[in-house]
Structure 1
Amino acid sequence: MAIAMTTGYSAQTEGARLCIDAASDWALTCVEQLPHQNHHVLIDYGAADGGTAVGLWNQVLDHLHTQQPNAHLTLIGNDLPSNDNIALAANLALQIPRPPKPTVLVSARSFYEPSVAPNSVSFGFSATAMHWLSESPGPLHNHTHVLASGDADAMQRFTAQALKDWTAILELRSRELQPGGRLLTVNLSRDSEGRYLGHNGGETRNVHDELHRIWRGLADEEVISEEQYRNGTILNFYKSPEEFMAPLKDASSAPYRNGLRLVDERTVHVRCPYRQRWNTDGDTAAFATGLMATIRSWSRHSFANAAGDAAADAVYQRLEQRIAEAPSDWSLDYVEHHQMMEKLA
């Protein structure tokens, strides 16, 4: 299945930008710790169209230039081959006028593959990208998202695939980091109380349950087949802090053997900006449209790949209507895990 965010992703994902903004303090800490040298390569892994991180890279480039005014800076944006890399290039190019006029590049390969030369990256960053799975862990028969499914067997399979992918990603990044380099990941997570993106512990509806109800309804109405229903699984997994840290606490893991070490970690909660705005202005139509669009931005490809564009569009028409009918029941709150790492010098 090709994973692809919708066109105009950044304009539809205000919450993702807020999650990145919440990590800016640690990003600046990372570049403060870099050794002084004449050139630094900075890379954004899983950048999508790059728009959500423009502000963060403004701060990072300015701060690093202040710290090391004679160093040349190269900023690379990376995602998947299915990404809107034209938009990514345009957003990266917004940094070019900044002193010291950094070089900006697009890496057109997957973040599941090597992206740059070994020992070349000074600072790597990734936000809300590493929850997607590289392959299906097998069928999910009763839901569209494993964490809301209550299926213990599926949970075990998805967990194993997620940890396999995460360890492989950290192994790649540990090879690419130069000794003394830093890596900061800002990942969708689940917290100690079991909350995750779309599930805030019952304060409002579980967004994944609602998506499933709509998808199941389309199958019951025979708009989609049972096979298409089963193929509508959203292939991502929100790892716990312990699962994120596991490869860095296992001395036998490849990233650990390559010298990657945990510096610090924290869990951060970000309230849904669309709901916060509705609480203030009461504009239900704008809330329903905005919240629907941000959910669609990351989930649409799952339904379109399973049953085509018309079926996927029907999901979001119904979703927007449901939000408009009961706006106080809806919110898309974020649970993020920040993990700061370094490669031993």
Structure 2
Amino acid sequence: MFTWIEWLADQLIFGLLGLAPDTHLGAALQFFVYDTVKILLLLFFITFIMGIVNAYFPVERLRSFLQRNRLFGLEYLLASIFGAVTPFCSCSSVPLFIGFVRGGIPIGVTFAFLITSPLVNEVALALFLGMFGLETTLIYAGSGILLGAVGGWVLGRLGVERYLSDWVQKMAEQPVMTGDFEEDGQTFRQRLPGITQEALSIVRGVLLYVIVGIGIGAAMHGYVPEGFFEQYLGGGQWWTVPLAVILAVPMYANAAGIVPVIQVFVAKGIPLGTAIAFMMGTIGLSLPEATLLKKVMTMKLILIFFGVVTTFIILSGLLFNLIL
């Protein structure tokens, strides 16, 4: 399928428009058309699959299950995995964080979900699969899930509950009514139209970010001189990974906007681990997220949370550079 899409992009840009492949404009437009079509198709397919998962394993079911069961440490991994299959960015994960705390879920387990949810989702997986291949996508997804589980465990061991805001602590003290979930009785065939519509809705929701992100990536691909990025983040020095994460934290973008840029980073000579660490810092930690978290956490807890996650992202980037 990718070969056919590349052929179509070549025919459109180099054949119909008559641009030469070795020109800046031709290379940029071919990159834009090829990646846009490829990513949108992958995004719909993976979002559709994740829609099936979400239809049968909703977040309320997970919260109820974790509330009633002790899993001897596996609850961190389970919450992290569920964060990976839910389509939430760092800001939209915060209301679910409140719901988990309100439901009596241990704070470390709640943090495991909050860390992984923006890092690994169907948008990120679709983009990664299309741009870096299956092996790198699996490594990225596995490391993101592990990062959430270990980070949640560390934050839980630190006993940070006392640093939640007074509003959240009062909310957590109130009793919550829970009950068994009832099946709606729908067959898979009956659920299919709703799942398809939800997948299309997600694609429409990130379409602009995809186009803008790939547009930026195409411009960088076609016009940025060779060696520009290597000068600052290339070379593989250990300090380039922390620098990339520190530069990324003040920014905010979702996976649809940042992954195409990361692809160009790699094409321009930035080590993959450094580029992934930059992406994780951008979509997993952001100033808008910190602003929202101020409602549910004290500033001390926000700094602890950002510090722990930043440390693990840096370690992940260094590890990626060793194995990829």
TM-score, structure 1 normalization = 0.22
TM-score, structure 2 normalization = 0.23
